[in-house]
């Protein structure tokens, strides 16, 4: 008889949201961009990073298509079918790469206003640099897109694991 071990549970802590529309871009454009950061407490048992990623993928709050509908009980995440995302679809990256992904995306239409740059530094870039491991969602095959998946022009997803703080942060930076 084979027993299936349950996936350890992450505890959802908070979901800060940075909406670029809340900042004055003067002559530039906010491009209807935003950053969603779902923060979780790591389980008390010691897990390797792949087990932590599996716990994230199995968490109900992972079922968010980021289209304004919020978290739903459906087999979708972001633009993709949920069952197409596994721990192996995430690639380990260093903090410099992670910061560059978000900074390049944020500044693609010109430099962001100082208040937004400050908030990104405090809430996004600093946690990236403090994380003990960082993962970037890799390229998924076209057939992984769900039925109304490609609604974002740009979509970037990172997972920050901070073992010293006992947290995991799922970062999604995208546009509407």
Strand partners, 11: 41
Establish if 164 belongs to a structural domain: yes
Establish if 35 belongs to a structural domain: yes
Span 138-155, average pLDDT: 81
Quote the number of domains for the chain: 1
For the domain that residue 166 is a member of, what is the CATH number? Answer: 3.40.1000
- For 105, residues 6+ apart whose C-beta sits below 8 A from its C-beta are 33, 154, 156, 173
Rounded Cα distance between 79 and 144, Å, is 8
Look up tokens 């071990």; give the residue.
Answer: 5
Establish if 17 belongs to a structural domain: yes
Q: Is the pLDDT of residue 149 over 70?
A: no
Span 48-71, average pLDDT: 89
pLDDT above 90 covers a percentage of the chain that reads: 64
**Greater model confidence, 16 or 74:** 16
Establish if 3 belongs to a structural domain: no
What average pLDDT does the chain have? 90
Span 110-136, average pLDDT: 96
Establish if 8 belongs to a structural domain: no
- Decide: 167 and 42 in contact? Cβ < 8 Å: yes
Establish if 46 belongs to a structural domain: yes
Q: Is the pLDDT of residue 1 over 50?
A: no
- For residue 27, the 8-state DSSP code is T
Rounded Cα distance between 22 and 30, Å, is 9
What phi, psi does 171 have (nearest 5°)?
-105, 130
Span 148-176, average pLDDT: 90
Residue 7 has a pLDDT of 63
Residue 31 has a pLDDT of 73
Rounded Cα distance between 10 and 8, Å, is 7
In which domain, by residue range, is 84 found?
A: 13-175
Nearest to 157 by CA among 131, 129, 138, 130: 138
Establish if 4 belongs to a structural domain: no
Model-wide pTM > 0.85 = yes
Element (H, E) at 172: strand 167-175
pLDDT in tens, 96-114: 999 999 999 999 888 899 9
**Distance of alpha carbon 145 from its chain centroid, rounded?**
17
Establish if 42 belongs to a structural domain: yes
Span 17-37, average pLDDT: 88
Strand partners, 23: none
- For residue 145, the 8-state DSSP code is B
pLDDT above 70 covers a percentage of the chain that reads: 93
Residue 111 has a pLDDT of 87
27, burial (CB in 10 Å: exposed 0-12, middle 13-18, buried 19+)? exposed
Span 110-121, average pLDDT: 94
Residue 71 has a pLDDT of 77
């Amino acid at each position: 008889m084979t027993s299936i071990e349950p996936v350890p549970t992450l505890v959802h802590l908070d979901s800060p949201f940075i909406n670029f529309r809340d900042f004055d871009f003067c002559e530039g454009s906010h491009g209807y961009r935003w950053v969603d950061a779902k923060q979780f407490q790591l389980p008390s048992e010691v897990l390797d990073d792949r087990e932590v990623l599996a716990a994230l993928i199995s968490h109900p709050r992972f079922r968010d298509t980021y289209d304004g509908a919020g978290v739903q009980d459906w087999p979708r995440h972001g633009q993709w079918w949920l069952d197409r995302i596994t721990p192996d679809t995430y690639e380990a990256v260093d903090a410099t790469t992670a910061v560059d992904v978000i900074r390049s995306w944020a500044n693609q239409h010109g430099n962001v206003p100082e208040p937004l740059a400050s908030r990104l530094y405090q809430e996004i870039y600093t946690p990236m640099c403090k994380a003990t491991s960082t993962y970037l969602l890799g390229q998924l095959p076209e057939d992984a897109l769900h039925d109304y998946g490609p609604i974002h022009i740009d979509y970037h997803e990172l997972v920050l694991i901070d073992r010293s703080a006992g947290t995991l942060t799922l970062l999604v930076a995208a546009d509407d």
